[in-house]
Amino acid sequence: MKAFGLQLCIDDFGTGYSSLAYLHNFPIDVLKIDRSFVNRIDSDTEQFAIVRAIVTLADNLGMNIVAEGVETIDQLVQLKLLQCQQAQGYLFSKPLAQEQARMLLASEQSFFGA
């Protein structure tokens, strides 16, 4: 897969069937933090600690990290403090059709700055 430029991602990490065993059994490139941890990161110290642990784990294993379900600037600020590389959620955009997504990307809007 890697020879074709494909990456393997664990979605909703920290919930359901996403096991720590997968981290050494498969060539994982990206961990996506489940929105259930992100949605209270700015108001719940336990959620913040869990997200910090996942970000640190991914960093130590050389993986990229994506936070799902970012809806507020405060959540984004907390994720930036944790040096989370990527985020997705309604703060950036509601789901879009292909052409609308293309136009949004072409507008060069960025919440993370240059």
pLDDT per residue over 2-53, tens digit each? Answer: 788 888 888 888 776 666 777 877 888 999 999 999 999 988 999 999 999 9
Return d(Cα 62, Cα 26) in angstroms, integer.
13
- Summarize the confidence of residues 75-101 as an average pLDDT: 92
pLDDT per residue over 11-24, tens digit each? Answer: 888 776 666 777 87
| Number of residues that make up the chain | 114
* Statement: residue 112 has pLDDT above 60: no
pTM: 0.79
Q: What is the pLDDT of residue 105?
A: 81
Return d(Cα 4, Cα 8) in angstroms, integer.
12
Locate tokens 């990456």: which residue?
7
